[in-house]
Structure 1
């Protein structure tokens, strides 16, 4: 029995395609993920160059599937599906598919596809995997949901690879910070938007356009970095399942100015208050006595080198150190954090080598963040041992100086 899909026929240069939509049920039935061994031969044989990157299952399970299951207004951009005959031969009109226009010359009609045809996701494998998993978790609700699709004919292996290259190399996703700036569902982002107004240092000084700060940027942090720091801190405050905590989950789609958002934001604001109060350079910036650029890059005329805390690594390392103190249920975590922050020589230099810096460059990586967090705690006199604080201190490299 043929699959029948209402479509619009189109053409870009020599490439013909059909625009339509498929139900989640049809996606689950007819689309095979790239990890399926049936594609080995299409890709060029097992062990040869593959036409698709590996599926990031953590991203699918932790981000995309919950987005589908929890959002009444969730929407996916179109999947690009290649129609591939089981024989591996080029798709042929007649035995493999038929386009039936509503009128003789119309581009609108019904695309009939033989059931033996497989669909390969040249673009959208993670969305496809999420659709399949969401269907398993809530079949009653998800079966009839639809996703837009672009259908392309399989010609040969080289053309399939070229389609994959075209769709992925030419796609330029927006920065994480810009994505967060437009996000209105995610409670953590909503809380972050409240913090951006409530904390004086962040007010009008958070970059919402890019994932990193340009050398001359007047901003002190990117929105992406601030959101990540809040994930770290909220996990410490509410536990590993912090996203499901009622106080946080109930903030979904609320206006950041709502009182309930402020209640949670205040707990994060307490952390940032300690940070700002104990790194006096931030006061100097807010008073107009120094620029954000100078805090990061230094000033040759003043013989200053800049400060590690002013970089994304510094923000996340401080958040990680604060989170460790909170997780260890220290009643005086704020005093401990303040003492640690004051004990560190934050100026860039050789004492940061192998911790926060490689040569004269701040090393903004996961291991660098963890090493810097442990270093902050160690300089504050905290010692290795059990618990979150002890683990970080134990893992931190010794002071090179």
Structure 2
């Protein structure tokens, strides 16, 4: 008697070959799929090596959202005997898929999900009764596995960070960022919620991602961390005061100048400036909790023009005039803003400043 795995499945045809979409209990996922790269010969290693740092994040996603987590299908190659049993002559593509127990399974897409499911089952074994869909391809000798992986990823387009934030309804900082934008007319009208880098002719002034990153810097927190009511109140108030303190932004809001014109003439129209302000805001939040707004309002007196090369050359932009956004240039821009507002530099900021002046 031959023993086999049996799954309810649907049969389809691609490139003249059958494939099967089956429903698989979660508890079987860690048992039947190869996961240790050392067990897989290099010629059959169909994927990039696993990034194990991603696994806890996906595991926590399952455990923290037991009522509404969502997983897309795993895709696997099977080296072994596969037999499809239709339920009837009338429904020939719906039935039961039998795969011999001695088959080798290799995941083409979803190795991190597989590993996260294994970790989640250790903590919540009851998840084993839930299901995930698996697309099976018959691949004798696993010769096509690498090509399957390459084909699956060839046309995949990663979403932009802005889209990820826009569609995230769990993360506290993402939700707060969208609330800030909705409450402030300037941000609501001039924030691009899809793109990260704005073209020179874009009618928008900010990107959702830049505002989110600024909020992260304002309270020194990362995506996924909890935001307190006090922090939420500060961020909302901060953006209201900030948007009222940058004269160039008011010109755009009043349609006296276009976002395109502002981008070419002012550093305040770039993500680098926003994130630098986030650093300044975090210092004020921690050291001037009751008077931070008086410092932010002083920004109205700072010359943010790109013609002001004495201040911003080497910090916000390079010799060619191109905005150069790195962690160091963001910090150097924040340093000068703090100096102009009469705020002291921290030890780390002073080291960055000394290095910059020495290089200059």
Task: Give the shorter-chain TM-score range.
Answer: 0.7 to 0.9
SS at match of 1:201: helix
Alignment match, 1:87:
none
Report the CA distance shift for 1:158/1:211 in structure 2 as closer, same or farther (over 3 A): farther
Question: How many residue pairs get matched?
Answer: 352
Q: Which moved more, 1:323-332 or 1:99-108?
A: 323-332
Q: 1-side partners of 2:283 and 2:51: how far apart? A: 28
The reply to whether residue 288 of structure 1 matches residue 289 of structure 2 is no
Equivalent residues in 2 for 1:190-339 (5 A)?
A: 190-235=175-220, 243-244=225-226, 247=228, 265-297=232-264, 306-328=265-287, 331-339=290-298
Question: Out of 2, 5, 20, which is 1:3 matched to?
Answer: 5
By how many angstroms is 1:9 displaced? 1.1
Query: In 1, distance between residues paired with 2:191 and 2:146?
Result: 40
Q: Distance in 2 between matches of 1:184 and 1:3?
A: 38
Task: Please tell me whether the aligned partners of residues 325 and 337 of structure 1 are also in contact (alpha carbons under 8 angstroms).
Answer: no
- Which residue, out of 100, 120, 132, partners 1:114? 100
Structure 2 portions without partners, runs of 5+:
none
- Match for residue 362 of structure 1 among 313, 323, 328: 323
What does 1:52-201 correspond to in 2, within 5 Å?
52-62=47-57, 64-71=58-65, 72-83=67-78, 91-92=79-80, 96-103=81-88, 106-140=92-126, 142-156=127-141, 159-201=144-186
Look up the SS of the partner of 1:106 in the other structure: coil
Cα 1:5–1:368 change in 2 (3 A) is farther
1:166–1:125 Cα change, 3 Å: same
Q: Does 1:377 align with 2:334?
A: no
Does residue 1:22 correspond to 2:7, yes or no?
no
- Assess if the C-alpha contact under 8 Å between 2:26 and 2:129 holds in 1: yes
